[in-house]
Amino acid sequence: MNKIINNHHIEATVLPPPTVQTLIEEANAANASRSRDKVDKSYQREWKKIIDFVTEKRSENILPPSPLYLTRDSVDLYFSTVVANLTFHPKSARRIRPSIVTH
């Protein structure tokens, strides 16, 4: 792309705009980097509880075998049977979702 500004011929290269997928990947990488830096012990404890829960339910054949721990079924079952029956401060409850997202 060439322009004339104040009687000067300026040549500029126009780069194609980034694709939406590229922007999403960059944002995810940045978020993951920030998330890893901010993981504290309470998030780690909650993550371990989820892993233990899913492992137990798979051994009882309540959840199907899978290489993934966070599936729609496992998260739904955890929240409906464990989280729904917990009694704790609301601020503590807010740590469950980020602990899942972080890991």
pLDDT of 90 strictly over 70: no
Q: What is the pLDDT of residues 46-77, one digit of tens each?
A: 888 889 999 999 999 999 998 888 888 998 89
Mean pLDDT, residues 34-47 taken together: 69
The helix (H) or strand (E) run that includes residue 27 is helix 20-37
The pLDDT assigned to 77 comes to 92
Q: Cα(34)–Cα(37) distance, rounded to whole angstroms?
A: 5
The torsion angle over the Cα atoms of residues 98, 27, 77 and 94, rounded to 10 degrees, is 20
φ, ψ at 4 (rounded to 5°):
-115, 115
